[in-house]
Chains A and B, each alone.
Chain A
Amino acid sequence: MRRRSFLKAAGAGGVSALLAGCAGTGGEETTTEASGDATETTATTHGTTAGGESPTLTVGTYGSFVDAPSSSPGPWLKEAFESEFDATLAWQTPDSGVNYYIERALRGVESGADLYVGLDAQMLVRIDENLDGALFSPAAGLSRLGDVNEQLNFDPQGRAVPYDTGYISLVYDETYGDGDSEFVAPETFDGLLESEYAGALLAQNPTSSATGQAFLLHTIDAKGEDGYLDYWASLKENDVRVLGNWEDSYNAYSNGEAPMVVSYSTDQVYAAESGEDMVRHQIRFLNDQGYANPEGMAPFADASNPDLAAEFMDFMLRPEVQAEIAVRNVQFPATTTAELPEEFAQYAREPPEAVTFSYDRLQNNLSDWTDAWAREFASK
């Protein structure tokens, strides 16, 4: 708490100074250093509303939302939105994701964007635990809010509106082993502890990876706050491999280092696209459950185009846009009105039961749970 109020006090001075600095430039982001490298992205930054030109909507998001090698919704969304609205959509993809905007707020610098796409409950908890002021505020007058599947709403304060959701599950390889019998993943969390699954599971670091974090939360849900550390001690005993990120672990999985990896339940959609054999991409929902991780969007409290941001959010919730986002981001739609293509529905698997921690459960617990896990698992 003491640290936070210090940062806030330090930040206040920064804000007024910043306003003074920006006064002459019409609120545009400018770089004082002559870089000689003006790119299109910098040319179309935030808040050019003056002079009757069409406004620019600046949207912060994570890199793969606009620039994944397979497919990403970003380019399609920009084109569709700009063709209908008299506005320019500029994507911002800071490397540290939403932390970049939290950091700006902590240092008393304006957010520089209108809304953020790609929030989850865990991020909201982190924001609310570290910032005294509001980083995001609820959008006013959304007409399609009612279309969102109620169970996916993860923000009790109504700032973040879900636009898609995914389930974290195990992906396993039936062909793994000596070839006498096919490999079958266990059906329960307890099954993972059996000796036949020693060294058989690849997971990810929950302190840096979304899938790793969801899997950890799923174990806490299954084993309880008091039981999950013991469960992980047994998993460690059974040689579970917790690697740095999803790419590391999926690479090891693809090379046959282990027959199971923590991943998304939409794994087969990718596998079908690149012509891989489905027996090597089987989905297992442990305890018949998948951990749901809905993704949301929210306008920044200091957005310079809040109305345009709200229009964009409504646009994101349209049935046809929802279907495009789902297919291109390889996730499930967040609304009840979206219609998915058959091919996608065939390979994207949904769990019998979705589990997820509410914002209230995560608040004041998330970092403690994760820290305790890290200390347990990294003890030599």
Chain B
Amino acid sequence: MSRASVRRAARALEQRLLTLVAALTAVVLLVLFYYPVATVFADAVLADGRLTIEPIAAVLTSEFYLVDIIWFTAKQAFYSTLASLALGLPAAWLFARFEFRGRETLRSLTILPFVMPSIMVAIGFVATFGRNGTLNRALSAVGLPPVELLFTLEAIVVAHAFYNAPLVARVVTAAWESVDARTVETARSLGASPRRAFRDVVLPQLLPSIGVGATLTFIFTFASFPIVLALGGFQLATIEVFVYSRVRDLAYAEAASLAVVETAVSITLTAVYLRYEASQRSAGGAANPLPRRAVLPSDWTPKSALRTVGIAGYALVVGLVFVVPIASMIIASVTGGDGGFTLANYAFLAERQATGASFQVKPLPAILNSLAFAAGTLVIAVPMGVTMAVLTTRRYRGRGLIDVLSMAPFAVSGIVVGLGLLRGLVFGVDVLGTRIRVTGALAIVAAHAVGAYPFVTRNVAPLFARLDGRLVESARSLGATRTRALVDIELPLVWTGVVAGAAFAVAISIGEFDSTIILAEGAGSYTMPVAVERFLGRRLGPATAMGCLLLLVTSASFLVVDRFGGRWGEL
């Protein structure tokens, strides 16, 4: 083949690459999401092979489900969203606008809550907010009465903020860092006060990211389940608690109907948010981030002193909600039955690694599997997510529908997806007389990518929307293919969003439990969260030790992802 024909072929591939990735995305979604979920949702609308609305109508006419469960679930999700914003936005401000030692590292570590198994969070929260917890001991040390926080709605809300405030912080930080400083300078030079410049120039550029953080937090906490029962109790049961218990009781029509209602709420909210996001077309341009300042002001004015006090107070709250629970888990992993220091739990992990049977979970393979699956997820989810972001920021008929459908993996109950994967992939589908089953490592990676790519899309799409369309048009009029324009022009401009999305993709993969355990082929493809669950026993020690390994490995990989991702973007 001549060099010219190779170039022609490469160009042809380049021209069709976006379409190709979009088609692949559709196939992956269909096989690993839409088809499996359909096998479950069918139970809500089919009886004896005929369409029926009876099961869904039964849920929608039940006062118990409507008021005690669904309305309550929405209420706690709303409070959780407010708490996550209150805790996450100041962090975004600090990360985007201040310079302090360890800022990059700290920012990388904000991903940790995302990967934490709920039992670990429960252990940390009981040790922090319980009757004999750190908070109450601190209160009694300064002569204040104890607070009873556990087994209340407040405990659930704080735990939800623990999981979701970092999400808000990360998404908003990425947007804040891509605010063009020149737009603010222009406003200021035209006489706007700093406050006015923030309100009229910066805030409009942040709102889509705040919106995405709030929407996702609401959707995630709307479907929350283990943490609700661990820290609240069954009297505060949410809709997902009932989906789970109906599935366990094999009452599939009722379970599916509840899940359909749950999904409808989440999808509607997603659609409302996406309409809003699409309407935001604020000015933007080349990344030229706002300058950072020191946390401790160089000259003390009443205003700067107030700011410093505020930051200190915020740091105290962060310490209580994030640092103390995580520290408590680490302490629990080195505490023995008699309350003294012990390394027995880590010795257990070493022993299990050395002598465990083939059908038992071993720590090292779990770590390696987690890392391999995360790498695989990264490689698949980033192109999927970026492609969907490109597609959903173009204007065409039916775009809204595609946009919402591509976000659906967020809106469907994890229990339903798990059951669907079991029915659709593990048991297999009959195609032309052959039963096709899809399990093992590839299936796990693909399932993780399905759960992860919407994060990439949501981090990147708002930045794409802000790009000046003329940039791409000029590139294309100069002969660049669409793919070339994307890689050379647009991606560098939205790189902060790509890195932010990639970090989420890795976190989703490392923290994923439901699909992993269903698609795993025996103990050989188990991951770290599965190992944590398997090591739970009468003593919580071994599980907490495995949980600490999970934290350690995740922290290390995030420092690498963020550093490497950041550098790459600067090239």
Binding site for B on A (CB under 8 A): 2-3, 5-6, 9-10, 13-14, 17-18, 20-22, 30-42, 63-64, 66-70, 74-75, 78, 90-91, 93, 95-96, 99-100, 102-104, 106-107, 109, 126, 130, 205, 207-208, 236, 241-245, 247-248, 250-252, 254-257, 267, 270-271, 274-277, 330, 367, 370-371, 374-375, 377-380
Contact = CB atoms under 8 A, between A and B. Distances in A.
B536 interface: yes
Interface of B: 43, 46-49, 64, 67-69, 72, 119, 122-123, 126-127, 130-133, 150-151, 226, 228-230, 233-237, 241-242, 244-245, 248-253, 336-338, 348, 352, 357-361, 419, 422-423, 427-428, 430, 433-443, 517-518, 521-525, 534-543
Do most interface residues of chain A lie in helix, strand or loop, or is the interface mixed? Answer: helix
A362 to B, nearest CB: 13
Nearest to B348: A69
Given A378-B236, A379-B68, 15 more contacts: A36-B442, A69-B539, A103-B422, A106-B250, A130-B250, A205-B245, A243-B230, A250-B540, A251-B119, A252-B150, A255-B131, A256-B131, A257-B131, A377-B237, A378-B237
A275 B443 contact: no
7 contacts: A32-B435, A33-B443, A66-B360, A68-B537, A252-B126, A274-B337, A378-B234
Specify which of A67, A90, A277, A375 lies most central, judged by the most chain B CB atoms within 10 Å of its CB: A67
Nearest to A203: B234
A239 to B, nearest CB: 8
A38 B525 CA distance: 9
B513 to A, nearest CB: 9
Given A255-B126, A367-B251, A377-B234, A21 B534 contact: no
A9 B376 CA distance: 40
A242 B241 CA distance: 13
B249 A126 contact: yes
A67 B237 contact: no
Specify which of B250, B443, B537, B538 lies most central, judged by the most chain A CB atoms within 10 Å of its CB: B538
B537 A70 contact: yes
A99 B250 contact: yes
A247 B540 contact: yes
B535 A69 contact: yes
Contacts of A255: 126-127, 130-133
B119 A378 contact: no
B345 to A, nearest CB: 9
A171 B334 CA distance: 25
A37 B525 contact: yes
Nearest to A35: B440
B142 to A, nearest CB: 20
B536 A247 contact: yes
B226 A244 contact: yes
B518 A208 contact: no
B360 A107 contact: no
A271 B336 CA distance: 11
Contact of B430 (A18, A42, A78, A252): A18
A102 B337 contact: no
Contacts of A257: 126, 130-131, 150-151
Given A64-B537, A370-B249, A109 B234 contact: no
B441 A37 contact: yes
A63 B534 contact: yes
Contacts of B541: 69
Given A37-B440, A252-B126, A271-B337, A208 B244 contact: yes
Contacts of A9: 49
Given A5-B48, A102-B250, A270 B539 contact: yes
Contacts of B436: 32
A130 to B, nearest CB: 5
A67 B524 contact: no
B325 to A, nearest CB: 13
B442 A33 contact: yes
Nearest to A379: B68
B466 to A, nearest CB: 41
A225 B86 CA distance: 48
A38 B249 CA distance: 33
B248 A207 contact: yes
B46 A6 contact: yes
Given A75-B360, A236-B235, A42 B434 contact: no
A93 B359 CA distance: 9
A31 B442 CA distance: 12
Contacts of A380: 67-68, 72, 235-236
A208 B245 contact: yes
B543 A109 contact: no
A47 to B, nearest CB: 16
A248 B230 contact: yes
A145 B13 CA distance: 70
Specify which of B440, B442, B443 lies most central, judged by the most chain A CB atoms within 10 Å of its CB: B440
A95 B226 CA distance: 16
A251 B537 contact: no
